[in-house]
Structure 1
Amino acid sequence: MFDVIVVGGGPAGATAAEDLARSGHSVALLDRAGRIKPCGGAIPPRLIADFDIPDDQLVARITTARMISPTGRKVDIPIENGFVGMVDREHFDAFLRVRAQQAGATRVTGTYRRIEREEGRVRVVYRDKETGREQVIDGRLVIGADGARSAVARDEVPGGDRIPYVIAYHEIIEAPAGMNGYDPDRCDVVYDGRISPDFYGWVFPHGSSASVGMGSMERAVDLKEATAALRAASGLTECRTIRREGAPIPLKPLDCWDNGRDVVLAGDAAGVVAPSSGEGIYYAMVGGRVAATAAAASLASGRARDLRLARQLFMREHKTVFRVLASMQNAYYRSDERRERFVSLCHDIDVQRLTFEAYMNKKLVRARPMAHLKIGLKNLAHLARLVPPAHT
């Protein structure tokens, strides 16, 4: 019998499994294998440092972010004193799973079916990938890290079946060679209602390939058609398509991450994707780490209530950032006129510096209070239409 069964082998699940195995716990990592999540693949320096990501996992180093407005206006934001790393989820997720196994976790390949309980133990029933038959894993606790529409969350955690999400879709294409202004060191973020009426589109370099995609909550949007339009606008129509992927991305952390008994959630299953940016890898891995911490505490104490530590620890550090980003999304993503003003605001050097300092270090920067005040006033001026969109 395992101490912990982790369901889902993405960044959250693999991180939780590795942390628990390294601390001496017996861990089973159940993953269905073969699934690649659509993702731009950006990881900040803090993730690289906190989770010891080797250089060979970085397929590109981004030094500029370009914001593109509905009218085609471009704002280039340099990433000062560093870079944003890019990973390909096909290889990055596999690396994390292998690392968890090397730390001592037992890998199991199959698809989660349900949880049963018997004589003080929790049993995860899954369909074995090789035989197609149902098998069971016995354990003391379960970490559900099986994505935005988590079956574990749906079955076990209050509200787990009602998480709001964006449907994301991207195409991995061969990177062009000197074609139409494509820059292998620059990420393009496209705020245009013709691409996405309520989110954004992206062109993110991955070395020899690139991720081109978008997301939307509106079910009427044709994701493939919108991505084709984005590729055309970016001069990437003729590039060979390597693969296509789609999946939900949650928009809000769940109010409860555990069942008060023997299950705790992590990553997308808990809803920890940053609003506005849609950034998920860093927060997924942090979510896996705090879930592992909570599980270890519960195992040591025998108290089910210690599973609450996962959400408490996460929110203690990241709640304010999530709240600010949600306010930004609600304020600026509702119309092209608002998106135009948002890109206009990004001309401001204070906005650029504070935005990327916060992104790179994963905390709101408090060192320059006057800059915060100036940004707040400019933000209000744009929202109140006191300045035209073309001005900063």
Structure 2
Amino acid sequence: MTTETLDAVVVGGGPAGATAAHELATSGRRVALLDRAGRIKPCGGAIPPRLIRDFAIPDHLIVARITAARMIAPSAREVDMPIEGSGYVGMVDREHFDEFLRVRAAEAGAERHTGSFERIERDADGTAIVVYATKAGDEVRLRARTVIGADGAKSRVAKQEVPVAAKVPCVFAYHEIVESPPDRTGRFDARRCDVFYQGRHSPDFYSWIFPHGPVTSIGTGSAHKGFSLRGSIAELRRTVGLDGQKLIRHEGAPIPMKPARRWDNGRDVVLAGDAAGVVAPASGEGLYYAMVGGQFAAKAVQACLATGDARALRLARKQFMRAHGRVFWILGIMQYFWYSSEKRREKFVSICQDKDVQRLTWESYMNKQLVRRDPWAHLRIFFKDLAHLFGLEQIAARLERPKA
């Protein structure tokens, strides 16, 4: 056991944990970052411009620049959603992206530790002792005034310290990283993400093909027990002509679909990232929200350390939900409603061809906030949604925005 008392131990070295450790170290706090080596989370790897700006992501980590998305309906109908102007969505490879964030935290002063979290113990005065196991099987103990649990969905930190957060419902995601074919081979486009809303590939979520430059992520997710994710990806690869591409690696992991009701233990532990459930419903986007959640967790820990008041740890969830709770609520409704049947998925993809929907969707995604201007566009979308929902396509067509 280390003799010193750290200000914080961050359990988990993904984007949330590495960001939290960087924030604390930059502020002069003594912080340890514990990560389990060799684990890469299945992830499409899309990051919006706001993440790139806010977190100073260097160009060399952007392996592809996506300028359009293609939505594929159950009937195989395709709707393209181009990004207007010069905007793009950056694509990163989590293997290198996460390590960059961990190195940046260490360069700011965080101590890096490698091992598997085991448990939190308490010494005689109640101070937390984070226990982890090294690869050799030895146990190491780190004494800390606070702990940030950023160890992913089904968090072991949450299970021990914030049990309600460990019960968040999850989608299980699986993807395969394959060598990219030459651009424009068949249906493959190196600057476009393909999203499949087809029950045969996912009965309750969606499947994707996301180009990452020299490699491509082909993945899917589902909460249905017994649904074969590997079988789904094998079929998808055959369908789109990518079954012959060399497999580089594959990963699977649970992805939470709802923010936990509580993120702290009221004492000295607060959660961040997947451990707190901050993956956006409907889209499954988690990178931006994980990193913002890591920031909020670090700020809450700072307030707790400065005041000695454990109630300050509540600020992490309170501030996150104030900033993004409405978006999560809307996306949750979308997933519950539009993903519930093939008929509704078909209508959802049909709605995506609307130019107002495309423009407002991209603006909201790229800037990570709801677009409040142009109220007439929102009103048109509302009535067109109702028309599509009730099968009144002729009325929906009349509500289309006039072409310039």
Structure 2 Cα separation of the partners of residues 21 and 362 of structure 1: 26
Structure 2 Cα separation of the partners of residues 103 and 290 of structure 1: 18
Structure 2 Cα separation of the partners of residues 196 and 376 of structure 1: 27
Q: Which amino acid letter does the alignment assign opposite residue 350 of structure 1?
A: D
Q: Which residue of 1 aligns with 2:45?
A: 41
User: Would the aligned equivalents of 1:88 and 1:206 in 2 still touch at CA under 8 Å?
Assistant: yes
User: TM-score, length-normalised on structure 2?
Assistant: 0.95
Mapped pair 1:157 → 2:162: yes
User: Would the aligned equivalents of 1:69 and 1:339 in 2 still touch at CA under 8 Å?
Assistant: yes
Structure 1 Cα separation of the partners of residues 137 and 258 of structure 2: 35
Aligned residue among 297, 314, 321 for 2:320: 314
Q: Secondary structure at the match of 2:166?
A: coil
User: Would the aligned equivalents of 1:61 and 1:86 in 2 still touch at CA under 8 Å?
Assistant: yes
Deviation string 1:253-306 (CA, Å, 9 cap, x unpaired) is 000000000000000000000000000000000000000000000000000000
Structure 1 Cα separation of the partners of residues 227 and 389 of structure 2: 27
Taking the TM superposition and a 5 Å limit, the aligned residue runs for 1:69-80 are 69-80=73-84
Q: Which residue of 2 aligns with 1:297?
A: 303
Structure 1 Cα separation of the partners of residues 149 and 20 of structure 2: 10
Q: Secondary structure at the match of 1:37?
A: coil
Structure 2 Cα separation of the partners of residues 385 and 194 of structure 1: 24
Aligned residue among 258, 261, 272 for 1:252: 258
Q: Which residue of 1 aligns with 2:107?
A: 102
Q: 1:160 offset after TM fit, Å?
A: 2.2
Aligned residue among 85, 89, 94 for 2:94: 89
Task: Tell me how many residue pairs correspond in the alignment.
Answer: 391
Taking the TM superposition and a 5 Å limit, the aligned residue runs for 1:1-392 are 1-81=5-85, 82-118=87-123, 119-129=125-135, 131-177=136-182, 178-387=184-393
Q: Which amino acid letter does the alignment assign opposite residue 41 of structure 1?
A: G
User: Would the aligned equivalents of 1:344 and 1:390 in 2 still touch at CA under 8 Å?
Assistant: no
Q: Which amino acid letter does the alignment assign opposite residue 114 of structure 1?
A: R
Deviation string 1:36-65 (CA, Å, 9 cap, x unpaired) is 000000000000001000000000000011
Structure 2's unaligned 5+ residue stretches are: none
User: Would the aligned equivalents of 2:199 and 2:342 in 1 still touch at CA under 8 Å?
Assistant: yes
Q: 1:12 offset after TM fit, Å?
A: 0.1
Structure 2 Cα separation of the partners of residues 390 and 243 of structure 1: 44
Structure 1 Cα separation of the partners of residues 60 and 166 of structure 2: 38
Structure 1 Cα separation of the partners of residues 287 and 394 of structure 2: 36
Structure 2 Cα separation of the partners of residues 154 and 22 of structure 1: 29
User: Would the aligned equivalents of 1:174 and 1:210 in 2 still touch at CA under 8 Å?
Assistant: yes
Q: Which amino acid letter does the alignment assign opposite residue 232 of structure 2?
A: A
Moved more, 378-387 or 366-375: 378-387
Moved more, 13-22 or 329-338: 329-338
Structure 2 Cα separation of the partners of residues 332 and 369 of structure 1: 23
Structure 1 Cα separation of the partners of residues 129 and 170 of structure 2: 29
Q: Which amino acid letter does the alignment assign opposite residue 70 of structure 2?
A: R
Q: Secondary structure at the match of 1:343?
A: helix
Runs of 4+ aligned residues of structure 1 deviating over 6 Å after TM superposition are 388-392
Structure 1 Cα separation of the partners of residues 247 and 396 of structure 2: 36
Structure 1 Cα separation of the partners of residues 138 and 269 of structure 2: 24
Q: Which amino acid letter does the alignment assign opposite residue 88 of structure 1?
A: D
User: Would the aligned equivalents of 1:112 and 1:126 in 2 still touch at CA under 8 Å?
Assistant: yes
Structure 1's unaligned 5+ residue stretches are: none
User: Would the aligned equivalents of 2:166 and 2:275 in 1 still touch at CA under 8 Å?
Assistant: no
Q: Which amino acid letter does the alignment assign opposite residue 2 of structure 1?
A: L
Deviation string 1:12-36 (CA, Å, 9 cap, x unpaired) is 0000000000000000000011000
Q: Which amino acid letter does the alignment assign opposite residue 330 of structure 1?
A: Y
Structure 2 Cα separation of the partners of residues 96 and 389 of structure 1: 50
Structure 2 Cα separation of the partners of residues 252 and 275 of structure 1: 7
Structure 2 Cα separation of the partners of residues 286 and 354 of structure 1: 22
Q: Which amino acid letter does the alignment assign opposite residue 213 of structure 1?
A: G
User: Would the aligned equivalents of 1:341 and 1:389 in 2 still touch at CA under 8 Å?
Assistant: no
Structure 2 Cα separation of the partners of residues 63 and 133 of structure 1: 49
Structure 2 Cα separation of the partners of residues 250 and 365 of structure 1: 26
Q: Which amino acid letter does the alignment assign opposite residue 157 of structure 1?
A: V
User: Would the aligned equivalents of 1:5 and 1:143 in 2 still touch at CA under 8 Å?
Assistant: yes
Change in 2 beyond 3 A, CA 1:33/1:388: farther
Q: Secondary structure at the match of 2:174?
A: strand
Q: Which amino acid letter does the alignment assign opposite residue 72 of structure 1?
A: A
Q: 1:220 offset after TM fit, Å?
A: 1.5
Q: 1:386 offset after TM fit, Å?
A: 2.6
Q: 1:388 offset after TM fit, Å?
A: 7.7
